[in-house]
Amino acid sequence: MKRTVTHLADGRELIYFDDNDAVVRDQQDRRHLPPPPAASEIRYDPILDEWVAIAAHRQTRTFLPPSDQCPLCPSTPTRSSEIPAYDYDVAVFENRFPSFSHREGEVDPPHLPGLTDTRIGYGRCEVVCFTSDHDASFASLTPSRVRLVMEAWADRTAELNTLPGVEQVFCFENRGEAIGVTLHHPHGQIYAYPFVTPRSRRMLDSARRYSGGNLFADVLAAERSSGERVIVQNEHWTAFVPATARWPYEIHLYPNRRVPDLPALSAEERDAFGPAYLEVLRRLDGLFGFPMPYISAWHQAPVRVDRDLSYLHLQVFSSQRAPGKLKYLAGSESGMGVFINDVRPEQAAQRLREVEL
């Protein structure tokens, strides 16, 4: 693998990951761009004990452009995109409209009365382009390309973990307009947060209170032993529908060996991920006969705390409950945080296993 670091016209960093060590990445960004926005602000909610980011500049971000104006496609002699190269394998660059940034502005966050603390929304947001093919999807990638994406995820996690003030790194993909994507080109994102996220804190609190061994490892062992909800497995990975799935179709993919984060995976585990994950995605796509909208979220250990409790895993879930029907987070889910699933997890697992590939 070859890793090439360069910069866009406004100073944002761009990193190419290539299978071919001989490739030369010397194309320059020909655009005239304004400076990147300064960091957002974060506000502490004392009632829910969590931080909320305020990033008003994101209102102007690109929204569902036509394919010939896609900012993630390679540049051409007549049109410049976010990626100056005329072709690429995997590319990662700083988001032009970041929710968190290391670029501090000249104005401090406002002082709010009462118990709400405000701070600079320090961190970093990156875009990961999985392929230069606009019409592809992650499910259509080859195992070798997935392996290269895995290298990019691990590389960025390791580097972002070293940034002062970053407490957690989150790699994810949103796919499909039903999920809320604003760009159709196959891509994901990486957020480096200045705090440990609420969901991670809650999971790790549960792991800390657990009186057995490692909570995540024991859940995985129980699912592997039962097999009732297992979808895909190989020597190094197991994918299953959790017994308490909140979404109509939700799958968790665990390495069989406990590691805290992506950089800790062995070469053999990285090789084995692609075949397992690609089968998961193709089963989802085959369920209703059209591309399944989904969110794919890596749960990694925080940078500085509870790494001994953490267990890397990938959560993939869809709001599509049936053809033409979506699962909306309505009153109970949005108002009280109590999920009501319309599909039994065991039935979902069975349907996914029955998909013909």
What are the catalytic residues?
A: 187
SS3 126: strand
Torsion of CA 250, 254, 258, 263, to 10 degrees: -100
Q: Which residues contact 207 (CB under 8 A, 6 or more apart)?
A: 214, 215, 216, 306, 309, 310
For residues 29 and 8, give the distance between their C-alpha atoms in angstroms, rounded to a whole number: 6
| Nearest of 241, 249, 245 to residue 321 by alpha carbon | 249
Would you state the structure tokens that stand for residue 184, as one six-digit string? 């159709």
Beta bridge mates, 173: 296
Would you state the structure tokens that stand for residue 111, as one six-digit string? 């002082």
For residues 26 and 196, give the distance between their C-alpha atoms in angstroms, rounded to a whole number: 37
Residue 332 buriedness (CB in 10 A; 0-12 / 13-18 / 19+): exposed
Would you state the structure tokens that stand for residue 129, as one six-digit string? 């382009």
Is residue 134 part of an annotated ligand binding site?
yes
Is residue 313 part of an annotated ligand binding site?
no
How many C-beta atoms surround the C-beta of residue 311 within 10 A?
22
Contact 57, 95 (CB under 8 A): no
SS3 40: strand
SS3 159: helix
> Strand 118-121's sheet: what is its strand order?
50-54, 40-45, 118-121
DSSP string of 130-152, one letter each residue: --S-TT--GGGS-HHHHHHHHHH
| Nearest of 209, 7, 19 to residue 92 by alpha carbon | 7
Is residue 184 part of an annotated ligand binding site?
no
Torsion of CA 318, 190, 137, 285, to 10 degrees: -20
Binding-site residue ranges for Zn(2+): 70, 73, 134, 185
Annotated binding residues, written as ranges, equal 70, 73, 134, 185
